Amino acid sequence: MKRIAVFTSGGDAPGMNAAVRSVMRSASKLGLHVFRINRGYQGMIEGDIQRLENLDVKNIIHRGGTILKTARSNDFRTKEGRQQAADSLMSFDIEGVIAIGGNGTFTGAKIFHEEHHIPFIGVPGTIDNDLYGTDFTIGFDTAINTAIDAIDKIRDTADSHNRLFFIEVMGRHSGFIGLYTGLGSGSSGILIPEKAHDTEALINVLKKGIKRKKLFSLVVVAEGDESGGAMKIAERVKKEFPQYETKVTIIGHLQRGGSPTCMDRILASRLGHAAVKALISGETNKMVGQINNKIKLTPFEDCISKENRPSKDLLELAEILALG
């Protein structure tokens, strides 16, 4: 194998650039030619492919987003679109591909490999931390630190004005961001999709806080919680607490951006290097991940079909620490 390509797909995540840098430098050290596919699968279909050089990855380790850009591609969902993508790769004599992304990215890679037999190795890049086969995904650490920084600032104004704040974080199907930011910020309540919640139970926790003369409360809500988003839950709860001025803050896409943390830079660098080694070793249709500080390969099928859920220990801890 002498010619490989790398692309980023799906939602952007801080640390993707560090992964691209690691892929480029690791491949270069091994004498491989590396090509960049811009705008994910859509760029692959359109032939938006160029040589990637070491100079291109200079001074990008600290940058958020992705220099390769990313896009959703409805065309790639069709057999005709995937054929066009295969033709593009063959026109550049590309022998293997490294895909940096999440569940949807790996689903596409699995189907594409089955149809066209081009080796693919995945690198987990998503802030949601919802991929089976790795303890943490690239971007997750930055996202939770961004959210905690925002919540710490909200805490200041909540304390000053005797307010009840509902803070919505990202996590449509996964509550990792909500759980970690809730624990790390000392919130009075954490509502995430993986755990059924009773609004009455939350109200009771907040009432206990009032009895202890607590002047303000923070509740973290994952956008995909079954009870609804922060706006809906706040409407139900605020009727019980006329003494509080109830506010809602939606942190939103702020969590996707920003310079990656040291942990994300190192994780991305390690996984990018491991992806190159796996590809030239003949591995395919697998994701590189880090489990118990060791590199592990997990088939795309398992990454896609199996769930990565918050541990019961952390969920129990959240209940214990949320005493109002």
**Contact assessment for residue 289 and residue 40, using Cβ atoms and an 8 Å cutoff:** no
Q: What is the DSSP string of 72-104?
A: --SGGGSHHHHHHHHHHHHHTT--EEEEEE-HH
The structure tokens 């596919």 sit at 37
* Helix or strand run (H / E) with residue 265: helix 262-280
Query: What are φ and ψ of residue 183, in 5° steps?
Result: -65, -45
The structure tokens 């926790």 sit at 205
Q: What is the DSSP string of 278-320?
A: HHHTT--SEEEEEETTEEEEEEHHHHHHSB----HHHHHHHHH
- CA 94, 110, 136, 172 torsion-angle sign: positive
Paired tokens of 90? 């063959």
For 14, other C-beta atoms within 10 Å of its C-beta total: 31
Exactly one of 48, 128, 130, 225 is catalytic; name it: 128
Q: Cα 132 from chain centroid?
A: 12
Three-point CA angle 228, 131, 87, nearest 5°:
115
Please, where are the H alpha helices in 117-229? Answer: 140-161, 176-185, 199-211
Question: What is the spatial order of strands in the sheet that 163-169 belongs to?
Answer: 189-191, 217-222, 163-169, 245-250
Any catalytic annotation for residue 130? no
**Contact assessment for residue 7 and residue 40, using Cβ atoms and an 8 Å cutoff:** yes
* Interatomic CA distance for residues 6 and 268, integer angstroms: 14
Question: Where in the sequence numbering do the catalytic residues fall?
Answer: 128
